[in-house]
Amino acid sequence: MPGLMERYRERLPFCADDPVVSLGEGTTPLVHAPHLSELVDSEVWLKLEGLNPTGSFKDRGMTCAVSAAVREGAKAVICASTGNTAASAAAYAARGGLTCAVIVPEGKIAQGKLAQALMHGARVIALRGNFDQALTLVRALTDRQPIALVNSVNRFRLEGQKTAAFEIIEQLETLDALCIPVGNAGNITAYWKGFAELDVAPRLFGFQAEGAAPLVLGKRVDQPETVASAIRIGNPARWEEAMEAMTASRGMVRAVSDAEILSAYRLLAAREGVFCEPASAASVAGLLRYGADGAARVACVLTGHGLKDPETALHQAGGVIPCEPNLTAVEEAVLG
Ligand code: AN7
């Protein structure tokens, strides 16, 4: 499959001879979830965005943002990140021959994401502060330095990410509601743009973690906290657009607890065979807590792969069974 810039070129702000930095992103599976469908009494689908090249939906926006940076003659890109944007920016920068710096909250990003950013050769800066402070600082820095900012304040990010909405409608034709985790609020804004371009309007149900729920509270959260480190964000950059999207779609923004997120995370892995990262499970946690509200067909966006965050997984899952190397012991171990 070609990357999404080639698939959707006529709907993106790029011309045929513009440079394309691609890793074959997009065209991710949308799978039916039989167990969840039964639980909420509607038809539930899971959009597996963790199957993008670096393991998250960020690649959709990053192929466009980095391609635009190359087109503009940029030599370097930078972002603030809770982890996935950093991994994606680092990979696409490597691919496009640009240097990359990422600023992440010290000690608060999942190990897989850190490994990716480092392996792709990014300069990884661990900020003694949170994501919101990191974003404020990179915005100020890019005002002073000729470095392209590839956070979702960059409009090309949203252009790329809107293509996920196209794919869902291509496959299902109609959709009543979309459940989606909300952090910096770029993705929900992008989906709404994508749906609007197709003239469809599913209800947008956005979910934030209870300890990092500025949109739900209607005010900034200065010290956001949640086990879902990807959405540990207290002052989303796309605040107004996201609220407008939810209002225009007759949707909602609501909070889910860390316990609910982890329970949905385990259920997805154990019952649906889908391993996503904790932040992604917020979409399903919200659906389980608040119900489908009459929507007959629902899609939940699973934004990142479970392998991103092995520590949380190992902490949540059952332990391994030690065993001596003989048949009796193995038999006992296997049968329990
Ligand atoms: C798995 O990587 O903000 O509401 O810096 O990694 O568009 O921010 C990540 C966000 C959901 C929230 N799920 O999306 C970053 C970053 C996962 C994420 C979100 C993120 P937005």
97 token code pair:
């021959």
Q: Which residues contact 280 (CB under 8 A, 6 or more apart)?
A: 49, 50, 181, 230, 301, 302, 303, 304
Read off the pLDDT of residues 43-77 as tens digits, 9 standing for 90 and up: 999 999 999 999 999 999 999 999 999 999 999 99
pLDDT of 1 reads: 78
Mean pLDDT of 311-315: 96
CB of 229 closer than 6 A to ligand 1? no
Strands (E), the chain: 30-32, 43-48, 76-80, 99-105, 123-127, 148-149, 177-181, 203-209, 252-256, 297-302
Read off the pLDDT of residues 239-255 as tens digits, 9 standing for 90 and up: 999 999 999 999 999 99
The identity of residue 152, as a single letter, is S
Specify the residue for token string 């930078």: 78
CB of 226 closer than 6 A to ligand 1? no
Cβ(60)–Cβ(28) under 8 Å? no
pLDDT of 318 reads: 86
What count of other Cβ atoms lies within 10 Å of the Cβ of residue 323? Answer: 12
CB of 303 closer than 6 A to ligand 1? yes
Question: CA geometry: angle at 76 spanning 70 and 78, to 5°?
Answer: 110
Which residue ranges form the domains of the chain, and what is each CATH number? 4-56+158-315 (3.40.50.1100), 58-155 (3.40.50.1100)
CB of 116 closer than 6 A to ligand 1? no
Cα 165 to chain centroid distance, Å, stands at 14
Q: Candidates 303, 308, 309: which one to mutate for ligand 1, based on the most atoms within 8 Å of Cβ?
A: 303
**Which atom, in ligand 1's list, is nearest to the CA of 308?**
1
Q: Which residues contact 251 (CB under 8 A, 6 or more apart)?
A: 177, 203, 204, 205, 206, 245
Read off the pLDDT of residues 14-47 as tens digits, 9 standing for 90 and up: 999 999 999 999 999 999 999 999 999 999 999 9
